[in-house]
Amino acid sequence: MSHGDKHCCHGHHPLPERGWVQFLLLLVINEEPMHAYQLSEELEKRRLVRKDRFKTGSLYTILNRMEEKGILSSQQEESEEGRPRRVYSITETGKSSLKNGLEHMLRRKRLLDELERYYQQYFPDAQGNGEQENA
- Can you give the pLDDT at residue 19? 73
- Can you give the pLDDT at residue 8? 44
Q: Is residue 47 part of a domain?
A: yes
Backbone CA torsion sign across 81, 52, 69, 7: negative
Number of structural domains (the chain) is 1
Is omega for the bond preceding 124 within 30 degrees of 0, making it cis?
no
Q: Is residue 124 part of a domain?
A: no
Most distant CA pair in the chain: distance in Å? 63
DSSP 67-83: HHTTSEEEEEEE-TTS-
- Can you give the pLDDT at residue 58? 86
- Can you give the pLDDT at residue 56? 62
- Can you give the pLDDT at residue 20? 85
Give residue 28's domain range: 3-107
User: For the domain that residue 11 is a member of, what is the CATH number?
Assistant: 1.10.10.10
Q: Is residue 127 part of a domain?
A: no
Give the pLDDT means over successive 10-residue stretches in the chain (135 positions): 43 50 94 94 88 79 95 91 90 97 94 96 76 47
Q: Is residue 19 part of a domain?
A: yes
Q: Is residue 57 part of a domain?
A: yes
